[in-house]
Amino acid sequence: MKILAIETSCDETSVAILNGDDVTHVTASQIDVHRITGGIVPEVAAREHVQVMIPIIKEIMQKTVLIPDDIDRIAVTSGPGLITSLMVGVETARTLAYSWNKPLFSINHIEGHIAANFIGNPDIEFPAVALVVSGGHTELLFVPKPGTYELIGATRDDAAGECFDKCARILGLDYPGGPEISKLAAKGDSTIHHLPSPMLDSDNSDFSFSGLKTAVLYFHRDNPDAKLEDVCASIENAIVNVLVAKTKKALKVHGAKSLLVGGGVAANSALRTELENLNANIYIPAPEFCTDNAAMIAAACRFHEQPTDLFSFKANPNWELTPR
Ligand SMILES: Nc1ncnc2c1ncn2[C@@H]1O[C@H](COP(=O)(O)OP(=O)(O)OP(=O)(O)O)[C@@H](O)[C@H]1O
Ligand SMILES: [Mg+2]
């Protein structure tokens, strides 16, 4: 089955064609544009998506040497995300599905982050636990079988990626902050400055990262000359510690055979190393499939049988995979 997928939920315009385990994707990043403002301006993101959308669809069809007749399904991210960005992908997919006469599948972005693990790994053992750590989400989910999700715990305020980005901003680092903190942390010592891992010892599986952000704000105000590498190592350590501890507990409580990790923060090498020491079959996508990409949307499309009604579906910026 050949699936053409489109992803525009935030600041990457991505199209992919998935054919079995054979994946081709073209992703146009807007990072350089948003670096100027130190974050995403939604209208600017939408305009950037509009500019590159048709050229990258043409590019992927040329790259794969496919014609519209060869495509079996069209999949698109319809939420959660920025409404202005989502609408560009949704309307492009609707138009393509109509004019090429293909079934259209509306896909949840968070399901995509989890499904990225199925690219090249068709034999994942269940039940599984999924850890989604991205710019907007930090969630632990129980996955009894492919395509079925139950929420175990989630952040009560900021997401882990958001915390990385905001701490980086406090420290005057470049955008996006996660990779910047990670790079400096690799050269630092996390034992010199203590920063809190909020909710590390709580009885539940929820997370909270806004307290860490505030702690970093006050620490930096009071210790402006502290070595950045050491501060970054402490921030990374505080985030990774709590993610790993709660994931370990969830694996045990749910008797999970596999751990499926997804989202941009899954590209963090300290987190990857710590998770790999846990007692389960660990799946973490290659870094290019951790951050937003359309290949993961095509992979999630394979969990679904029923196409979406072409005319009634809409972008839904608040579409949660497992509402609380
Ligand atoms: N190596 C890294 N270490 C830590 N964080 C990272 C790393 N690489 C990327 N990130 C973080 O990942 C986040 C982006 O991930 P992703 O693209 O999945 O988020 P999003 O799509 O904006 O949010 P969501 O998927 O919740 O809608 C950013 O916060 C970025 O700082
Ligand atoms: Mg994402």
* Other residues' Cβ atoms within 10 Å of the Cβ of residue 23: 20
What pTM value is reported for the model?
A: 0.94
Residue 37 has a pLDDT of 82
136 pocket-lining for ligand 1 (C-beta < 6 Å):
yes
SS3 content of the chain, % helix, strand, coil (to 5): 45, 20, 40
pLDDT over threshold 80, residue 268: yes
- Comparing CA positions, the residue from 317, 293, 300, 306 lying closest to residue 130 is 300
Check if 2-114+290-301 and 125-284 are the same fold. yes
Over the stretch 128-137, which tens digit does the pLDDT of each residue have? Answer: 999 999 999 9
CATH class of 125-284: alpha beta
Residue 239 Cα to ligand 1 midpoint, Å, equals 13
Q: What is the CATH number of domain 2-114+290-301?
A: 3.30.420.40
112 pocket-lining for ligand 1 (C-beta < 6 Å):
no
Residue 242 has a pLDDT of 97
Domain residue spans in the chain?
Answer: 2-114+290-301, 125-284
pLDDT over threshold 80, residue 253: yes
Rounded CA separation 10/321 (Å): 17
Residue 20 has a pLDDT of 86
Burial (Cβ within 10 Å: 0-12, 13-18, ≥19) of residue 143: buried
Helices (H) and strands (E) in the chain, counts: 11, 10
Percent of all residues in the chain with a pLDDT value above 70, rounded to a whole number: 99
DSSP secondary-structure letter at 174?
Answer: P
pLDDT over threshold 80, residue 281: yes
